[in-house]
A = this chain, B = another copy of it.
Amino acid sequence: MNVVALAGGVGGAKLAAGLSEVVAQNELTVVVNTGDDFDWMGLRICPDLDTVVYALAGLNNPQTGWGVQNDTFHVLDSLRSMGCDTWFRVGDRDLATHLFRTRELQAGISLSEITRAICRMIGIGIKVLPMTDSSVPTIIDTDEGTMPFQDYFVRRKCEPRTRGFTFHGIENATPAPGVLSALECANAIIVCPSNPFVSTGPILAVPGLKPALGASKATVAAVSPIIAGRAVKGPTARMLEDAGVAVCATSVAGLYRDFVDIFVVDVADEMLRPQIESMGLGSRALPILMDTPQSRVALARKLLDTII
């Protein structure tokens, strides 16, 4: 079995962690969004990669969805006392990851090699790949002007209304080494329940990615990030609203219709299946809310049963 998960932040990390308990380590590849990556105090931070890696290592903070559990914030507190901007919360344990990554990048090592090293250091056998080794920062066009993703997401708490999304430089980016071959060898590809605009969107915008999904013999299943008309987490609902479509799993299915075989909604959205299937997609209704470790494993198992 070869399973590839396309993952954004929290939702992707949860499902990847669930899959890691159901699939053998060497049979799972997680391809992660890097559009959120940015520089903070001279350090390179890759929030989605870290969220996935920490979740796979069992180090993640389930309360916040980001960072390391029981982390301290001594460096950040010191920076605040020095008058530095501290709206992006970096814990001390987390900072060690960013220091290591930045030093390695400065030495000319690629992000995918560094991510492999971090996984090894942290004791993860699963293959975690950045979608690309290039920097392709997500820029949000809002009613208050354009802004980098973390400015919108963390500093402005997703308050501005969105008008569009640009992944700067994506036209020249290539998939990171291993991404295309993983898709080619996969017999199950899962688009995790992440924001379709800013989490899975950048991954699917990397040149070559969508064609590889189309060419793959694998069944491609996507899990809805919307349950009963509400986003499980983050600004997905608002962004759908700003895009002028209904805040509804069906709208996400519509965004994915070109490359997805099966769209999975929550059991609460069973009634949406005919509408989704009328777009030419297969559909399933499963309990997709991952609010406990047990539920993410159960979802992973049911998904694979459905697909393979």
A84→B121 CA distance, assembly (Å) = 9
**Does A156 count as interface, using CB distance less than 8 angstroms?**
no
Residues of B within 8 A of A99 (CB): 41-43, 75, 79
| B106 near A42: Cβ-Cβ < 8 Å | yes
B-contacting residues, A92-120, CB 8 Å: 92-93, 95-97, 99-100, 102-103, 106, 118
- Known A74-B74, A75-B75, A121-B83; judge A42-B95 contact (CB<8 A): no
Main secondary structure of the interface of A (DSSP, over half): helix
B-contacting residues, A113-131, CB 8 Å: 118, 121-122
- Known A79-B96, A82-B122, A121-B83; judge A42-B103 contact (CB<8 A): yes
Question: How many whole Å from A94's CB to the nearest CB in chain B?
Answer: 8
Which residues of A approach B to under 8 Å, CB–CB?
41-43, 72, 74-75, 78-79, 81-84, 92-93, 95-97, 99-100, 102-103, 106, 118, 121-122
Residues of B within 8 A of A92 (CB): 72, 74-75, 78, 92
Question: How many whole Å from A127's CB to the nearest CB in chain B?
Answer: 19
| A84 near B100: Cβ-Cβ < 8 Å | yes
A43→B103 CA distance, assembly (Å) = 8
Question: How many whole Å from A16's CB to the nearest CB in chain B?
Answer: 21
